[in-house]
Each structure stands twice: as structure tokens, then as C-alpha cells.
Structure 1
Amino acid sequence: MEKYYLSVLQNIMDIAGEPLKKLLAVFGSGENIWLAGEKELAFAHVLRENQLERFIAYRNSNKNLPHQVATICEKKHIFLCSIDDDDYPALLREIDTPPYVLFYRGRLGNNLPRIAMVGSRKISPYGRAAAERFSVALASCGFAVVSGGAYGVDTESHKGALSVGITEAVMGCGVDIAYPPTNANLLAEISETGAVISEYLPGTPPLKHNFPARNRIISGMSLGTLVVEAAERSGSLITAVCALEAGRDVFAVPASIFASGSRGSNKLIQQGAKLVLDSEDIISEYRDKIKLKTLSKKNGKMKKDFVLSKDEEKIFSLLTPDEPMSVDDILYQLTEATPARVSYHLLQMELRGLVQSDGAHRYVRK
């Protein structure tokens, strides 16, 4: 039951964070804190008088809450892991205020390196293509892609990673709540191979103030954070700041200076985030630290299942395995094509594992 006591305590505003850490040092366990008398808690000199009064009032109104949470989790097949468990994300323990307990649906402990991908909810076609491209490439190489389950970049990042590997969604509500509701099927699919994760009690609604706190978990679990597309006042920038505060890497996808929806990510680059053009720019940062797959089995199987469109066939027929071609090279031979269409078809074939970029925007068959 200790995990359930801790999970309740970390969700009480007057206790969460540093006060809970100090109370645990005094009382030894979450259960002891929950059952302690008012005088014992006062003598610990951790909570201010008004905090102590609010905590006692809350506890008196919710005496059986830890046991109720345990019952709900059992009924809804929700699991818990505490900060001392083996399946707790190792990097998350290193941040200043790690959750003592994580609720999750699915499976933690995939033992994969994690990369966070975040960005705008109001995604542009460019952002959509970039999110898909990077998530597919990173998941294919053995990274678990971590994001927030929201509209826009989060959704596209989860979908891309799911097509070839593992992804994890960190929620700003209980793991039994689909938010946004239209992503209910996506979250269910994520939990089949990865995990839907939260520090919040089951049934907790998606309150606005939960999301900045949620962002520290997204970045805290991950080796680095990739900002795909973010406006100047985007919540994604909070995740980037959390990553920097935890000493983690921040990457950003560049975009047009005229795109207001990307001013935040462009400014991150201006301030020192690593500009990335393809997944190799991220993978190269960790090649010496971790062993990565070159291609997932699932992606290899998918490769056989795709049928080329007529335009893709024309482009694919020009490519060879050993002589890279640029978009201009292809346009020279396909006079009826446009640069935008050729780039689009190359991206689609790259995402499906049919062609490969050499990092200088030249392509070969795989």
C-alpha cells in the first residue's frame, strides 16, 4: 500500500515537492505521514500552520483515499511504479522534483533510450511532415519517443513512432482519461506496446496547471528533447527549459523566419539548441553511449507492404543504391514535376523505408 499513500500525498498541493521530501525524511514512509497525528506533524516543523490545517482537513475528508485509489487501479488495470522500482525511468530520478510514484497503462521498463518530441498543437503541414519524419526515424533506430498525447506535434510524433516501434505518452490528467477525447484510440494503441503515464491520480481532469508540471516528466525521462515546431509562447518551450535545467540536450527543427508558429523553435536555435536536419544529427550525440538498432523488424515488414503511386514509381526508378540524387537532379529528368511534389514523394518514401537521405538532401534506394 505504500505506493498508494505516496501517490495521494504527491497530489496534495501543500505536500507535493520539497515538503513531502522533508516529511519522508522525518516519518520514513508515506503511510506514516498519512497516519501521523496533528501534533506529530506540527513538531516536524515542515508545514506552515495554514498548510498543516489544510492537510488535516483534506485527510479527514478523504480518510480512505489511498485504499480507494488501490481499488480503482485494480478495476481499471492501472499500474504503479515508485521511484525505487527497477522499471522507474532511471533518468527521471535525476531531476530536482521527480514524482515519487507514476501511474501507467501498458508497460514501462522497455529498456530503451528515450527522446522527447514536443511542439505546437496548431501544427502546420511542414510541422506534420517533420514530426512524422523524425519520430519514424528515431523509433526505427531503437529510441522510445516520449510526448504529451496532445493535438498537433504530439499526436504526429506518437503516430510515427507507433508505426515502427515504441512511444510513451505523459498525461496532464489521470491515465484513465483520454485527453483530448479524439485521441482515445491512439492512447489505447500506445498502451499496447508502450505506456500512457501520469503522476496524477486516476480521475484527475486535465486542469491547466497540470501541464507545465507534466512537461518536466517528458523531458526528465529523456536523453534529449526535440522541439519540432513551437510558437514564441508555446508550452513546448517550458519542456525545453525543463530539459536544460536537468542538464539534458535540446534540439530544434528550423523553419521559415516568416512562420509565426515556428518563432519559438527558431529562437531556441538562436539561443544554443542544436539545429537538426535529420535523425542522424540526434543519433550522433548518443552513439557512444547506447546501442541502437539500425532498423526495426516491424519497419522491415512494413517496407514490403507498400505499393508505389505512379509519381513515386517515376522517382524511385531514377534512384540507385550507390549514386545519390538531389531534387534538382530528379527534376532535370522529370520535367513535368515540381520541386514541392518531388520533395513530398521523397519524404513519403523515406518514411516508409524505401529511400534514404545522405544528410545533404540527396537520396538513394535502400
Structure 2
Amino acid sequence: MSVAGGRKKGVAFTYDMQVSWLRLYRSENVGPVTFRQLINRFGGAEAALEALPELAERGGRRIEIADRGAIEAEFDRAKKLGAVFACMGEPGFPSMFASDEHSPPVIARMGDPALFEQPAVAIVGARNASLSGIKLTKRFAADLGAAGYVVVSGLARGIDAAAHEAAISTGTIGVFAGGLDMPYPPENRSLMRRIVDEGGCLISARPFGWEPRAKDFPRRNRVVATLALGLLVVEAAQRSGSLISARIANELGRLVFAVPGSPLDPRAGGSNKLLKDGAILATEAADVIEALRPLDEGRRSRGNDSLDEPEVLETFEEPAGDERDRIYEALGPTPVSVDDIVEHTGASPGAVQLVVLELELAGRLERQRDGTVSILL
């Protein structure tokens, strides 16, 4: 079963299949890219789980495999909360995730999953937003909703909360940085409840009971950007999570919009810089709608499929002779591409991919966002 493109839609998993997928995803050192490689190599989560210990030991250390009991406890917590899990390839899983191999292969969700198949715009900005920024955000969100766009954001204070609130009646998706049972910030708990009760959707890739940490917010920002055709920054300081979201959106081929602000307001420093760097100027929703129209029409013509999908991953092969040693020697603390390793060592792409996978599972290798890899010293 190949999952690299995420095209197999509409097949509901059994409970045991969902548990196995979540066990694999929750196991130590198994990120989204590694998860997809394991499923493609072994044909399913159960077989991948059986192979994990040997693969990691070949990479240099033992790893912890997620306990089935702990995963079943997550399912129990989800049921009590009124949430469900959705795996890549199932109904109710975001089709836009197919365009990014770093997207989570399993999510927990509450609310209406039909919103995943509608065109969406992400709106992000400052937590300490100005009154004019909040007012403008609500206008953008309401107008975009009236034009048929779902509004996606990260449930934070300020701009995020204003965007969700204005789009509740037309459709909004909120992305958690922690578990679905760990609302953050707590003062937005009532807003989150309204989103679910009034036809919106909340999602998380983190375990139930997981309190969000600093490094979880960039991961959440990536999900926000991935779900949308474009991302609008209303207010953002020079150093802010919104600029991370904009960078990710740009990397994914999404359109990035920014609202200009006063040079005297530090909350506009980041958004003004985005405009200098090539973001699309937006002063009203019509600016966003007009720019997104070609992408939206193209998506609709493909039957609501995602944007361009990643290529199918390479087939794995056992290294021959001294290939494993040559691959080890080619790796270092400076990131290099797999193609360069193949060219330098003369090993097959499949052999290089397998050794990289083993080292990654052992926690000895880091995979960069651009696909390059480096040894952790």
C-alpha cells in the first residue's frame, strides 16, 4: 500500500488499523516522512512496527515503540471528548495534506470534516493585535467566508481568535498545538466549543493530554499553512510565529498575502517586510479572492484534489558489499542530499534510503525540510 501521494480516498480503516497507524506514528523517532517510508516499505503499520526494533538497532540504538495500551487509552479519551481519529487515505482526512510529506499521517478531529474539501484561506497575525487589526481581520474573514472560503487559523489570542469568530457562520478550522483535550490558550475554550457546535472543525496531530511546548507551535503553523490555498498575515512583528507560517506557506507553493501597516507600529514590522519580500498586498478580501481564483479553479477541476503531490518514495534495497560503510562515511554534520550521496558512493538510491531510514530511527540523523540529511554529533 503506497501512501506517498495520499490519493487513496474513501476507505475507512478498522479500529485495529487505526490503532496500528497511531502506534507507528507515536513511536520514537518516527516523524511524518519516516512514517510514509515505513508504510511504503512494509505495506502496512503492523509489519512496520515489527520491523522497527531491528531497523533502529542497525542504525545504532534501540528505540521505544508506542504501547498499544497507551494508544487505546487515547482512543478512549477521544470518544469521551466526542473526537475521532482519521488516517491518511480515510474519509474525513484533509486532502491538502497530500501536497506536503511533512504533514501528519494521523489526526484527531472534532466537528465537520467536510470543511477539509472546501477551498480555504489561512489568516494569522499578532497575539497582541490592535483594535483596528482585529476589526480588519473580522472583515476579511467574513468576506472570505461569504465568498465560499473556509478560514483556517491557530486558535491563538488576537488575530487568530478574531478570524475564527468572524468565520464561524461560514466555516472555520482551528489547529491545536497540543492535544485536543488541552485547549490553549484557556480563555479561548468557549470559542473552540462554538466552532464545533456551529459546524466548524478542530484538529490536532499531538497526543491527548499533550501540553503544547514552544517547538509545537511551528508544527501547528505548518498544518495551518498546508490546509489553505493562501495565507494572509494581518499584523506581525519582525520576529513572530506568523512569519514562520508565511515562510512555510511560501515553501509549499501557497500564495502569501500581507496587510500593510504603519511603520511606527512594531506589530506591522513583519507584515511590511513580507510585502518588501514579495508578498501580495491585501487591503480587502477581494484582493485575496482574485489572486486565488486560478488555484481554486484548478483545484475544483481536479475534483477537489490537493495541489501538486510529492513524488512516490524510492524503493528500499539492502546495501551490497561495503556500501553501508561508504554511505556512513559520506554523511556528516553538514546537510547533503540523498542524490549526492548516491552519486558519491555509487550505491543504489534504495540502499541509501534504507541506511538513512535506519539512522533516523536510531536518532542519529536529522532530516532537513529541503530533504537533505545530516549526522547528529
Q: d(CA) in 2 for partners of 1:31 and 1:203?
A: 25
How is 1:1-366 mapped onto 2 (pairs within 5 angstroms)? 1-36=16-51, 38-39=53-54, 41-42=55-56, 48-50=59-61, 53-56=62-65, 59=66, 62-110=67-115, 111-162=117-168, 164-192=169-197, 193-288=199-294, 290=296
SS of the residue corresponding to residue 293 of structure 2 reads coil
SS of the residue corresponding to residue 104 of structure 1 reads strand
Q: Paired residues, what number?
A: 280
- Pair 1:210–1:42, CA change in 2 (3 A): closer
Letter in 2 for 1:237: L
The question of whether the paired residues in 2 share the 8 Å contact of 1:89 and 1:109 is answered with: no
The question of whether the paired residues in 2 share the 8 Å contact of 1:170 and 1:196 is answered with: yes
Letter in 2 for 1:216: R
- Pair 1:120–1:8, CA change in 2 (3 A): farther
Q: d(CA) in 1 for partners of 2:28 and 2:272?
A: 35
SS of the residue corresponding to residue 285 of structure 1 reads helix
Task: Quote how far apart the aligned CAs of 1:174 are.
Answer: 0.8
Give me the identity figure in percent.
Answer: 32
Letter in 2 for 1:32: A
Q: Give deviations 1:289-335, integer Å, cap 9, x for gaps.
A: 547xxxxxxxxxxxxxxxxxxxxxxxxxxxxxxxxxxxxxxxxxxxx
Q: d(CA) in 2 for partners of 1:148 and 1:11?
A: 22
Q: d(CA) in 2 for partners of 1:100 and 1:167?
A: 21
Q: TM-score, normalised by structure 1?
A: 0.72
Q: d(CA) in 1 for partners of 2:247 and 2:266?
A: 20
Q: d(CA) in 2 for partners of 1:233 and 1:91?
A: 28
Task: Quote how far apart the aligned CAs of 1:156 are.
Answer: 0.6
The question of whether the paired residues in 1 share the 8 Å contact of 2:32 and 2:105 is answered with: no
Task: Quote how far apart the aligned CAs of 1:23 are.
Answer: 2.0
Task: Quote how far apart the aligned CAs of 1:54 are.
Answer: 2.8
Task: Quote how far apart the aligned CAs of 1:226 are.
Answer: 0.3
The question of whether the paired residues in 2 share the 8 Å contact of 1:172 and 1:214 is answered with: yes
Q: d(CA) in 2 for partners of 1:9 and 1:37?
A: 9
Consecutive unaligned residues in structure 2, runs of 5 or more: 1-15, 298-377
Letter in 2 for 1:15: V
The question of whether the paired residues in 1 share the 8 Å contact of 2:53 and 2:63 is answered with: no
Consecutive unaligned residues in structure 1, runs of 5 or more: 292-366
The question of whether the paired residues in 1 share the 8 Å contact of 2:230 and 2:292 is answered with: no
CA RMSD of aligned residues (A): 1.9
The question of whether the paired residues in 2 share the 8 Å contact of 1:137 and 1:279 is answered with: yes
Partner of 2:313: none
- Pair 1:13–1:118, CA change in 2 (3 A): farther
Q: d(CA) in 1 for partners of 2:215 and 2:125?
A: 18
Q: d(CA) in 1 for partners of 2:125 and 2:52?
A: 46
Partner of 1:341: none
